[in-house]
Amino acid sequence: MGDYKLSASLRGHEDDVRSVAFPHPTTVVSASRDATVRLWKQLSSNPPAFDCTIKTHGKEFVNSLAIVPPTEAFPEGLIVSSGKDQIIDVRQPSTALDDNAEALLVGHASNVCALDASADGSIIVSGSWDTDARVWEIGKWENSTVLPGHEASVWAVLVYDSNTIITGCADKGIRIFRPSGSLVRTIKTADVVRALCKLPANHPSGAHFASAGNDAVVRLWTIDGRQVYELHGHENFIYSLAAFPDGRLASSSEDRTVRIWENKQCLQTITHPAISVWTVAVCSENGDIVTGASDRIVRIFTRATERYAEEAAIAQFNDDVKSSSIPQQAVGEINKEKLPGPEFLTQKSGTKEGQVQMINESNGNISAYQWSTSSNTWVNVGTVVDNVGSSGRKISHNGKEYDYVFDVDIEEGKPPLKLPYNLSQNSFEVARTFCEDNKLPITYVDQVANFIVQNTQGATVGQTTSQAPEQGSSASWGNASAPTQAPPSKPKLLPQKDYLDILTANHSVIFKKLQEFNQQLVDEGNKGLSLNPADIEQLNGTILAMGKGNTEDVEPAGIDLIVKTATAWPQEKRLPGLDLLRLLFASSESIVYLSQNSILDVMADSGVFENTAPTNNTMMAVRALSNLFKTPAGQALAKDNFDVVHKFASPFITSTNRNLIIAITTLYINYSVLLSSDTNADRALTLLDDLAKILNKATDSEAVYRALVAAGTLLHLGDAFCEASRDIFSLGTAVSHAADKVKEPRVKNVVAEIQDKLK
C-alpha cells in the first residue's frame, strides 16, 4: 500500500484537541481544551464525512481520554475522560449531554493528564499532575488504588495486561506495577516520559512496549526493563504513541509531525499545519490513524485509496502545511547567510525520511523543506518566522523587558492576569511569585509552572540541562552561545502571610451527582432521607447562586439541604454534599448561619472524622475547615474551636492518603497564619508537634512542602518556639528527613530557611 493521505478533517472543536480514540472505522472520539468530549460518526464513506455530538461539556480543559471496550455489563463500552477539573467522567456512548454519567471518579488533586483501560473492561488507570497514578475497578466506582512512588507528574499510563500496569513520569522513570499497587520495577530513562503504548504479541523486535517523551526518542522495551532499540527522527517533545496490529508505530510530536515507523525506520512523516500534534490513535480494524492538534482539527489519514478525501481537500491540506508559520524558537538559531538557496532542492537529496532542510528563499524568507522518501522530493512544510522569545526580541511589561508575557485566565468574566517570564528564570519560582502577587491559592503553583514550561517548549537561555525547568526539555531551544545570566535572588518564603483556600468546583457536576444519589434513595424506599421535588428545586437554585458567586442569595433552606446531604445521607453518598459544604464554609453569610446551628457538632456527630468514614469524605471535610479562614467570621469560628478542629484532624496526620494529608497541611498553614497575628503558645506547640510527625511520615512533595511552610511560619513566632522545636519535637531531624525524601527546589529553599531559624 502507499503513503498515508488525508481521509477526513473533522472540524468543530474550539480549542486544541488533546486526546483522540479510534475504536471503530466509523467512530472517532476526541477531547479538547474547549472543555468538550465529542463522538464523531461517519455519515458517508466516499468521500468520508463525519458528524459529531457533544458527550460532555464542562468548564475546564479536557486533556485525557480512554475507551473501555464492550462488556456484558456495558455492551456499548464506555467513554472515559478527564482533565483540569480533576474529575474522571465515565459514560456510555449513547447517553445524551444532559444525562447523568455512569460514574464521576473523585480522588485526584490536580489535572488528570493520562487515562487507559484494560482490554477486558475491568479497570481504568489514571495519571495526574498530583504525582499519583490510580487504579479504578469498573462498576465499583467509590474507591481507587494509588500506584505509589512517583516524584513528579504522571504523564502516561498503560494497562499492559490484567496483571501489569506501566506508568511514565516526569521524574524520568517508567514504573511497572501490579493492579494491587505493588511496584515490580522502576526503569530510569534519559528524560521525561510522556507517552506509552503496548506492542502486539511477537513483535519483530522482541519488545513488549514503547515509550517516548521530552528527548524526542522512541524507545522499545521488554517487560523486564531491557531496552531493545531507539527510534530517532523527531525534533521535539513526543506526546503520543500508538501501535498498529502489524507492529508498526505512530508517534506525534511538538515538531508538528506524525511519524510512521516500521522496525528501525521512519516510513513516513506527516506534517500538520499546527504548532503541535498532541495525540495520535490507530484503528485496529483498518489501520487508519486519527490525530488531534493545536489547530483544533481532528484528522483521519488512510493508505486505502477508496477512503482518500477528495483531491481538493488533500490539496488544501498540503497548501495549509506549506503556508504555515514555524516559530523560529522551535528550530533554534539560524544563520541566514549560511543557508543554501532554492537550488539546493534540485541538486541534493535527503538522507532519511523526515529530514528538514532550511532554505534561504529568493524573496528573503526562510522556508523549511522536509524530505519524502516515497516521492523522492523535498516538500515545503512552512515558513520560519521571528517569534517572541527568539532573536533577542523582548516584550515590555511594567517598565521591564521579558521574553514572554502570557495572558492567564483565572476566573471567568474577569480580565486575564499578566504573567511575565524570562527564559533565565526558574519556572517554579516565577509561578510561586505570580500566585503570591495575585493572591491565588498555593494549589495553583504547579499548574502555572507547567503552563510556563509547556508554552515555552522548555526553552532556556544560557542554562545547562540541570538548570532547565523541572518538566521542560533537556534540549536548549534558545541561543546556546548566549552568556549565562545569573538567576534572580530568591525572595523569602517564610513566614506565610496569606490564608489558603480550596474553592475550585464544578457546580453542575456536583448537582447531577446529588440528583443521582437522591434517586437511588427514592428507589430504595428511603424517603426519610431523600429530597422531594421541591427540595431539589430549592437545592438547584442554591447551587446556581453559589456557582455565580452570589453567596448572599443562598437561603437558609438551601443550606439546610446541603447539610442534610453532607451529614445525614449514607456515608457512601455524602461526598457531593460535603463538597458543597466546603464552598459554604468560605462564605460569611453561610458560616454565620452554620455556626448558629452548631455545624461543627453536627459534623462530629455525623462520623465524618471517624476512622471508619470513607477517606474522601474526611478529606473533603478537612478542606471545608481550611476554607473557614477565607472570612473573618470563619476565622473567629476556627479560633474559638481550635481544640475541636484539632481533635478532628490530628488522628489522620500520618495518613498515607495524599489528598487527605494535603488538606490537613493546608489547614495547619492557615492556623499558623492565624497564630502569627494572635499568638497562643499552647496551640502553636501542638501544631509544631503534629508537623514534626507529618514530616517524618509524609512522602508526597506537596504535603511535605505545605507542612514545611506551616512549621516555618510558626518558628517565626519567636526563639522560644525554635528552641522547643529543636529540643522537644526534634523538628530539625524531621525537616532533614523530609529534605532527603523530596528533591525539589521549593522544598530545598524552605528547608534552608527553617534550618537557619533552628541554628
Task: Tell me how far apart the alpha carbons of residues 129 and 449 are, in angstroms, rounded to a whole number.
Answer: 11
What count of Cα atoms within 13 Å lies in the side-chain half-sphere of residue 217? 15
Give yes or no for a contact between 317 and 10, defined as CB atoms under 8 angstroms apart: no
Compute the average pLDDT of residues 694-704: 89
Higher-confidence residue: 480 or 498?
498
Per-residue pLDDT at 423 exceeds 70: no
pLDDT over 70 percentage in the chain: 88
Q: Provide the 8-state DSSP code for 468.
A: S
Task: Tell me how far apart the alpha carbons of residues 144 and 146 are, in angstroms, rounded to a whole number.
Answer: 6
Where residue 431 falls among pLDDT bands split at 50, 70, 90? confident
Residue 94 is which amino acid? S
Task: Tell me how far apart the alpha carbons of residues 614 and 600 are, in angstroms, rounded to a whole number.
Answer: 18
Per-residue pLDDT at 348 exceeds 80: yes
Domain 401-467 is classified in which CATH homologous superfamily?
A: PFU (PLAA family ubiquitin binding), C-terminal domain (3.10.20.870)
Distance set, CA 389 to CA 16, 402, 648, 684 (Å): 22, 8, 50, 47
Architecture of the 499-652 domain? Alpha Horseshoe (1.25)
Task: Tell me how far apart the alpha carbons of residues 38 and 12 are, in angstroms, rounded to a whole number.
Answer: 9
- Cis ω for the linkage preceding 614 (within 30 of 0): no
Per-residue pLDDT at 344 exceeds 60: yes
Where residue 401 falls among pLDDT bands split at 50, 70, 90? low
Tell me what pLDDT residue 387 has.
Answer: 43
The pLDDT tens digits for 499-549 are: 998 887 778 888 999 999 999 999 898 888 999 999 999 999 999 888 877
Is this model's pTM higher than 0.85 or not? no
Tell me what pLDDT residue 389 has.
Answer: 37
DSSP-based three-state secondary structure for 420: strand
Residues 6+ apart with CB under 8 A from 440: 410, 434
DSSP-based three-state secondary structure for 198: strand
The pLDDT tens digits for 240-295 are: 999 999 999 999 998 899 999 998 899 999 999 888 899 999 999 999 999 999 88
Per-residue pLDDT at 586 exceeds 80: yes
Where residue 356 falls among pLDDT bands split at 50, 70, 90? confident
Least confident of 112-126, 254-268, 436-450: 436-450
pLDDT over 90 percentage in the chain: 60
Closest CA to 384 of 368, 360, 361, 364: 368
Closest CA to 1 of 254, 246, 349: 246
DSSP-assigned letters across all residues of 17-48: EEEEEEEETTEEEEEETTSEEEEEEEEEETTE
Per-residue pLDDT at 390 exceeds 70: no
The pLDDT tens digits for 134-191 are: 999 999 998 899 999 999 999 999 999 999 999 999 999 999 999 999 999 999 999 9
Per-residue pLDDT at 465 exceeds 60: no
Cα 8 to the center of its chain, rounded Å: 29
Would strands 325-327 and 377-385 be described as parallel, antiparallel, or unpaired?
parallel
Task: Tell me how far apart the alpha carbons of residues 581 and 620 are, in angstroms, rounded to a whole number.
Answer: 9
| Burial class of residue 646 (count of CB atoms within 10 Å of its CB; 0-12, 13-18, 19+) | middle
| Burial class of residue 245 (count of CB atoms within 10 Å of its CB; 0-12, 13-18, 19+) | exposed
Compute the average pLDDT of residues 328-339: 71
The pLDDT tens digits for 664-684 are: 999 999 999 999 988 899 999
Instruction: Give one word for 287, left, alpha or beta, with left for phi > 0 and alpha for psi -120 to 50.
Output: left
Task: Tell me how far apart the alpha carbons of residues 30 and 278 are, in angstroms, rounded to a whole number.
Answer: 12
Tell me what pLDDT residue 451 has.
Answer: 73
Look up residue 206 and give its three cell numbers.
522482541
Tell me what pLDDT residue 278 has.
Answer: 95
Distance set, CA 197 to CA 18, 73, 193 (Å): 17, 26, 12
Rg (CA), the chain: 27
The pLDDT tens digits for 224-237 are: 999 999 999 998 89
Give yes or no for a contact between 104 and 58, defined as CB atoms under 8 angstroms apart: no
Tell me what pLDDT residue 385 has.
Answer: 65
Look up residue 5 and give its three cell numbers.
493521505
Where residue 454 falls among pLDDT bands split at 50, 70, 90? low
Instruction: Please give the mean pLDDT across all residues of the chain.
Output: 86
Tell me what pLDDT residue 372 has.
Answer: 84
Compute the average pLDDT of residues 402-411: 69
Per-residue pLDDT at 101 exceeds 50: yes
Give yes or no for a contact between 710 and 661, defined as CB atoms under 8 angstroms apart: no
Tell me what pLDDT residue 211 has.
Answer: 98
Task: Tell me how far apart the alpha carbons of residues 64 and 3 are, in angstroms, rounded to a whole number.
Answer: 29
Closest CA to 298 of 658, 40, 599: 40
Tell me what pLDDT residue 351 has.
Answer: 83
Give yes or no for a contact between 159 and 114, defined as CB atoms under 8 angstroms apart: no
- Helix pair 681-697, 701-715: axis angle to 10 deg: 150
Listed by start position, the domains of the chain span 328-385, 401-467, 499-652, 654-759
Tell me what pLDDT residue 628 has.
Answer: 96
Where residue 432 falls among pLDDT bands split at 50, 70, 90? confident
Look up residue 693 and give its three cell numbers.
510527625
Closest CA to 709 of 450, 440, 435, 498: 498
Residue 603 is which amino acid? M
Per-residue pLDDT at 693 exceeds 90: yes
Cα angle value 723/725/728 (rounded, 5°): 95
**Backbone phi, psi, residue 22, to 5°:** -135, 70
The C-alpha cell 433552606 sits at 557
Q: How far apart are the first and last CA of the chain?
A: 73
Higher-confidence residue: 449 or 169?
169
Compute the average pLDDT of residues 214-219: 94
- Helix pair 719-727, 745-758: axis angle to 10 deg: 100
